[in-house]
């Protein structure tokens, strides 16, 4: 995901899959991969994710418990919005995407647009 390093994305995937807030140790135990990471590495990554606004944390005794600041879907939509706003030509980006969308993606977009509330000013 745009704005996240490889390890940050792995940690976010653990947070998104969790059903409850996780401590650093919980995240460490759930991380996939052959090599075992240091506790302090995972703690630093979670701190960075919190600073970047990707994760929330709440004090639990001397430790923190972490949760995602937004769902995976909200994060994805936010990244699309960021790309559109930074592109300098959102119309062209959207048109190019629309031409490259699969049939399934096109149907989803049409359904979402059909359900959208009309703008108040009529534009």
What domain range includes position 11?
Answer: 6-68
DSSP 65: E
Instruction: State the DSSP H helix or E strand holding residue 63, giving kind and residue range, or none if neither.
Output: strand 63-68
Tokens 């409850």, residue located: 20
Asked, for residue 28, whether it belongs to a domain, the answer is: yes
DSSP SS3 for 35: coil
Asked, for residue 30, whether it belongs to a domain, the answer is: yes
| Of 53, 67, 54, the residue nearest 23 (C-alpha) | 67
State the pLDDT at residue 11.
96
Asked, for residue 123, whether it belongs to a domain, the answer is: no
* Tokens encoding 5: 């390093």
Same domain as 54, residue 22? yes
DSSP 36: P
> Residue 59 and residue 68: Cα distance in Å, rounded?
15
Same domain as 37, residue 58? yes
Instruction: Give strand pairing partners of 44.
Output: none
State the pLDDT at residue 74.
93
pLDDT lower than 50: segments of the chain: none
> Residue 91 and residue 38: Cα distance in Å, rounded?
45
Q: What is the pTM of this model?
A: 0.79
State the pLDDT at residue 33.
80
Do 9 and 46 contact (CB within 8 A), yes or no? Answer: no
State the pLDDT at residue 1.
61
> Residue 54 and residue 69: Cα distance in Å, rounded?
5
């Amino acid at each position: 995901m745009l704005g996240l390093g490889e390890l940050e994305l792995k940690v976010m995937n653990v947070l998104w899959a969790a059903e409850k807030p996780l401590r650093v140790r919980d995240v460490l135990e759930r991380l996939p991969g052959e090599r075992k990471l240091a506790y302090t590495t995972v703690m630093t990554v979670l701190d960075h994710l919190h600073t970047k606004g990707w994760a929330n944390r709440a004090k639990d005794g001397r430790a923190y418990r972490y949760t995602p600041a937004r769902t995976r879907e909200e994060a994805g939509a936010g990244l699309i919005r960021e790309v559109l706003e930074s592109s300098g030509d959102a119309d062209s980006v959207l048109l190019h995407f629309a031409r490259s969308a699969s049939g399934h993606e096109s149907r989803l977009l049409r359904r979402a647009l059909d359900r959208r509330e009309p703008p108040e000013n009529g534009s």
